[in-house]
Amino acid sequence: MKTMKTKIWMMATLTLMVVACTEKPVSLDTPYIIEGELTGVRDGVSIRLSQMDGNVGTNLATDTIIGGKFRFEQQMQDPELNKLMLLVTDNDFPLLGKTIYVKPGARVKIKGNGNHIMTWKVESKVPEQRAYDELQAIPEYEAFQEVALERTKIMNELFAIDRKTEKERYREAYNRYAANGKQADSIQNIITGKQIEIMKRTKPSEPWLSELFDLARMSNAYSEYAFTEDAKALYQSLPEETKQSKQGLEVYANLYPPKQALNGDDFPDADFYDLNGNLHHIAEHKGKYILLDFWSSGCGPCITAFPVMKQLYEEYGDRLAIVSMSTDTERRWRKASAEHDITWSNWNELKGEGGIYTNYRISVTPYYVLINPEGKIEQQIEGFREEPFRALFSELFEN
């Protein structure tokens, strides 16, 4: 015979089940709310909320911290874009951000003390946030943020020094900057090692796959990366369905890249698409010099270079083909293309930082590859500096 307590428990459980089954789904228009309660942060500090699309962030809103509090209330435009970043651009804060995952109707509370934004605590019921926080529960992040703050201060000091008249002062500051970088790398290696151990015992999630992609990208960019074999083991543990996802394929392309394209080699080719969906190949420009421009809308120097490339295209277009290859998501690429005057070939392989990107072991953008009319790779250039860039083509076409 069931006791009265048992009957009451069963009735309560049944009621909860009925409520759960009849609960209406939250509309996409229902805003999420992010509220901060901080101590040890002075009034007037500006905090920015950005929406992440791939590796590119778009500013959504800005608030000012007063009495330790800030608040954001936003509607989601796309349920797939649920990864946000909190950023503070202030001399008292390191140049780092706090990752936040949201969903329509989510209420997220941020609590923290001081300027260590990466380790502010998040109270949230969003599953991705819980998975992310589990991967970030590493004590060494505190020391990493201290080193990052010192790095910001040294950078500001370097910018303020006149390199021509204060050579000794600049050299001393630069040496401190280099030593700081080595210290940061050392702490980062400890963090990465501990993060890998957490990943081994936790289930794959969006944050888990994002961390794996970061490992894969480092493995591709640096031939002697210490965690390459760990990253490969984590990838091999994934179910086949996840391996075949866009994120899984991007990880694979970086972990198992094709033969590196070196100067003097024939250029690698692939399927690329323009904004109208038309298929293209680099080979269609063979017979001219070809400049490949790997870019992203979140890369300031990439955008700075566009006016220079436009001038080069207008001046040498009969002998030079310029092909800008976006690594953005299709959505972000289309938006960025509408904002910039790209009159030359503007293509996307739609594989992010997978695909042909991995042939060149690219670690930063912009990245340029110059191919000669015979189809051989002639030069590879990391980063953009206007004068050397112009001089290269002046020498090529005018001498």
Shared domain for 73 and 169, answered yes or no, is no
Has residue 10 been placed in a domain?
A: no
| Strands lying side by side in the sheet with 289-295 | 279-280, 272-273, 345-348, 320-326, 289-295, 367-371, 377-382
pLDDT band at 300 (very low <50, low <70, confident <90, very high): confident
Q: The tokens of 74 are what?
A: 């936003």
Range of the domain at 357: 272-398
Is residue 5 situated within a structural domain?
no
Q: Are residues 170 and 249 in the same domain?
A: yes
Q: CA-to-CA distance for 40 and 359, rounded, in angstroms?
A: 47
Collapsed DSSP state (helix, strand, coil) of residue 198: helix
Q: What is the pTM of this model?
A: 0.80
**Closest C-alpha to 53, from 324, 327, 323:** 327
Tell me how far the alpha carbon of residue 125 is from its chain's centroid.
Answer: 24
Are both 236 and 281 inside the same structural domain? Answer: no
Asked if 100 and 86 count as a contact pair (C-beta separation under 8 A), the reply is yes
Using pLDDT thresholds of 50, 70 and 90, give the confidence band for residue 378. Answer: very high
Instruction: Give dist(CA 283, CA 294) in Å, integer.
Output: 17
pLDDT of 42 above 50: yes
Q: Are residues 149 and 235 in the same domain?
A: yes
Output the pLDDT for position 313: 93
Q: What is the pLDDT of residue 2?
A: 44
Average pLDDT of span 250-256: 93
Q: Judge contact between 82 and 54, C-beta under 8 A.
A: no
User: In this structure, are 236 and 279 located in the same domain?
Assistant: no
pLDDT band at residue 399 under the 50/70/90 scheme = low
Number of structural domains found in the chain: 3
* DSSP 8-state symbol, 102: -
Domain co-membership, 249 together with 219: yes
pLDDT at 29 exceeding the cut of 50: yes
Residues 231 and 146 in one domain: yes
pLDDT, mean of residues 116-128? 96
The answer to the question of residue 8 being in a domain is: no
The pLDDT of residue 6? 46
Q: Among residues of the chain, what percentage have pLDDT more than 70?
A: 93
pLDDT band at 52 (very low <50, low <70, confident <90, very high): confident
Q: Are residues 42 and 106 in the same domain?
A: yes
Q: pLDDT digits over 316-354, tens only?
A: 999 999 999 999 889 889 999 999 989 999 999 998 888
Residues 281 and 248 placed together within one structural domain of the fold: no
Given a cut of 90, is residue 195 above it in pLDDT? yes
205 and 321 housed in the same domain: no
For the cut 50, the answer to whether the pLDDT of residue 4 exceeds it is: no
Single residue among 128, 163, 189 that ends a domain in this structure: 128
